[in-house]
Amino acid sequence: MTVQSISRYVTRDPKILQGEPIIVQTRTSVRAIVGLWRLGMTPEEIPTHLPHITLAQVFDALSFYLDHQEEINSYIEQNRIPEDLIHPAVKAVLEQ
- Domains of the chain by range and CATH? 4-94 (1.10.10.10)
Q: What is the pLDDT of residue 81?
A: 83
Q: What is the pLDDT of residue 1?
A: 57
Helix (H) or strand (E) holding 89: helix 88-94
Among 65, 8, 53, residue whose Cα is nearest residue 27: 53
**pLDDT tens string for the chain (96 positions)?**
577 778 999 999 999 999 999 999 999 999 999 999 999 999 999 999 999 999 999 999 999 999 999 999 999 999 888 888 888 888 888 787
Q: Could you tell me the pTM of the whole model?
A: 0.82
